[in-house]
Structure 1
Amino acid sequence: MAQVKDPVCGMMVDSETARHKSEYQGQTYYFCAPGCKTAFDKEPEKYLQSGEGEHHQHHH
Protein backbone atom coordinates (compact mmCIF):
# COMPACT_ATOMS: atom_id res chain seq x y z
CA MET A 1 0.00 0.00 0.00
CA ALA A 2 1.75 3.14 -1.20
CA GLN A 3 0.45 6.61 -0.48
CA VAL A 4 1.10 9.09 -3.28
CA LYS A 5 0.06 12.69 -3.68
CA ASP A 6 -2.57 13.70 -6.24
CA PRO A 7 -0.63 16.33 -8.27
CA VAL A 8 -3.76 18.42 -8.83
CA CYS A 9 -5.37 18.76 -5.39
CA GLY A 10 -2.59 17.47 -3.13
CA MET A 11 -4.74 14.77 -1.52
CA MET A 12 -3.02 11.52 -0.55
CA VAL A 13 -4.15 8.56 -2.68
CA ASP A 14 -3.37 4.86 -2.40
CA SER A 15 -1.58 3.92 -5.64
CA GLU A 16 -2.81 0.31 -5.42
CA THR A 17 -6.50 1.14 -5.19
CA ALA A 18 -6.69 4.45 -7.08
CA ARG A 19 -9.22 4.19 -9.89
CA HIS A 20 -7.98 7.29 -11.73
CA LYS A 21 -4.46 7.42 -13.13
CA SER A 22 -2.52 8.85 -16.07
CA GLU A 23 0.81 8.14 -17.70
CA TYR A 24 2.97 11.16 -18.48
CA GLN A 25 6.60 11.11 -19.64
CA GLY A 26 7.03 7.51 -18.48
CA GLN A 27 5.65 8.11 -14.98
CA THR A 28 2.26 7.16 -13.54
CA TYR A 29 0.26 9.75 -11.62
CA TYR A 30 -2.71 8.87 -9.41
CA PHE A 31 -5.81 10.96 -8.73
CA CYS A 32 -8.55 11.03 -6.09
CA ALA A 33 -11.34 11.76 -8.57
CA PRO A 34 -12.06 11.95 -12.31
CA GLY A 35 -12.05 15.76 -12.20
CA CYS A 36 -8.43 15.86 -11.02
CA LYS A 37 -7.38 13.38 -13.72
CA THR A 38 -9.14 15.45 -16.41
CA ALA A 39 -7.48 18.66 -15.23
CA PHE A 40 -4.04 16.97 -15.20
CA ASP A 41 -4.55 15.44 -18.66
CA LYS A 42 -5.34 18.88 -20.09
CA GLU A 43 -2.29 20.65 -18.60
CA PRO A 44 0.14 18.21 -16.95
CA GLU A 45 3.06 20.67 -16.99
CA LYS A 46 1.05 23.20 -14.99
CA TYR A 47 0.62 20.79 -12.08
CA LEU A 48 4.08 19.24 -12.21
CA GLN A 49 5.88 22.60 -12.26
CA SER A 50 3.89 24.02 -9.36
CA GLY A 51 4.56 20.94 -7.24
CA GLU A 52 8.28 20.78 -8.05
CA GLY A 53 8.96 24.49 -7.66
CA GLU A 54 7.88 24.57 -4.04
CA HIS A 55 10.64 22.16 -3.00
CA HIS A 56 13.61 24.00 -4.49
CA GLN A 57 15.26 27.00 -2.96
CA HIS A 58 16.54 29.73 -5.24
CA HIS A 59 19.89 31.36 -4.50
CA HIS A 60 20.61 34.86 -5.76
Structure 2
Amino acid sequence: MAKDPVCGMKVDEKSARYTSVVNGEVYYFCSDGCRRDFQKDPSKYVHHHAGRT
Protein backbone atom coordinates (compact mmCIF):
# COMPACT_ATOMS: atom_id res chain seq x y z
CA MET A 1 0.00 0.00 0.00
CA ALA A 2 1.17 3.47 -0.87
CA LYS A 3 0.60 6.54 1.27
CA ASP A 4 -1.11 9.63 -0.15
CA PRO A 5 1.59 12.31 0.36
CA VAL A 6 -1.03 15.03 0.92
CA CYS A 7 -3.42 13.54 3.49
CA GLY A 8 -1.53 10.43 4.62
CA MET A 9 -4.30 7.98 3.70
CA LYS A 10 -3.25 4.51 2.54
CA VAL A 11 -3.89 3.92 -1.17
CA ASP A 12 -3.80 0.59 -3.02
CA GLU A 13 -1.45 1.07 -5.99
CA LYS A 14 -3.35 -1.50 -8.07
CA SER A 15 -6.70 0.25 -7.81
CA ALA A 16 -5.62 3.89 -7.40
CA ARG A 17 -7.49 6.22 -9.75
CA TYR A 18 -5.28 9.25 -9.09
CA THR A 19 -1.53 9.33 -9.65
CA SER A 20 1.22 11.79 -10.46
CA VAL A 21 4.84 11.27 -11.51
CA VAL A 22 7.65 13.50 -10.20
CA ASN A 23 11.28 12.83 -11.09
CA GLY A 24 10.36 9.34 -12.27
CA GLU A 25 8.61 8.39 -9.03
CA VAL A 26 4.89 7.59 -9.01
CA TYR A 27 2.75 9.07 -6.23
CA TYR A 28 -0.73 7.73 -5.43
CA PHE A 29 -3.69 9.74 -4.14
CA CYS A 30 -7.02 8.97 -2.49
CA SER A 31 -8.83 11.70 -4.43
CA ASP A 32 -8.49 14.15 -7.28
CA GLY A 33 -8.43 16.96 -4.71
CA CYS A 34 -5.28 15.58 -3.08
CA ARG A 35 -3.71 15.03 -6.50
CA ARG A 36 -4.46 18.63 -7.53
CA ASP A 37 -3.02 20.02 -4.27
CA PHE A 38 0.12 17.96 -4.86
CA GLN A 39 0.47 19.12 -8.47
CA LYS A 40 0.26 22.79 -7.42
CA ASP A 41 3.45 22.43 -5.37
CA PRO A 42 5.03 18.93 -5.35
CA SER A 43 8.06 20.17 -3.39
CA LYS A 44 5.75 20.78 -0.43
CA TYR A 45 5.06 17.04 -0.24
CA VAL A 46 8.11 15.33 -1.81
CA HIS A 47 11.04 14.88 0.52
CA HIS A 48 13.97 13.06 -1.03
CA HIS A 49 16.31 11.42 1.45
CA ALA A 50 19.83 10.21 0.79
CA GLY A 51 19.82 6.56 -0.18
CA ARG A 52 16.19 6.51 -1.24
CA THR A 53 15.40 4.99 -4.62
SS in 1 for 2:8: coil
4+ long deviations beyond 2 Å: none
What is the aligned counterpart of 2:32 among 11, 34, 43?
A: 34
Higher relative CO (Cα under 8 Å, sequence separation at least 6) belongs to 2
Q: 2:3 aligns with which of 2, 5, 9?
A: 5
Greater fraction of residues in helix: 1
TM-score between the two structures when normalised by the length of structure 2? 0.85
TM-score (norm 1): 0.76
For structure 1, the residue ranges without an aligned partner over 5 or more in a row are 54-60
| Pair member with larger Rg | 1
Which blocks of at least 5 consecutive residues in structure 2 are unaligned?
none
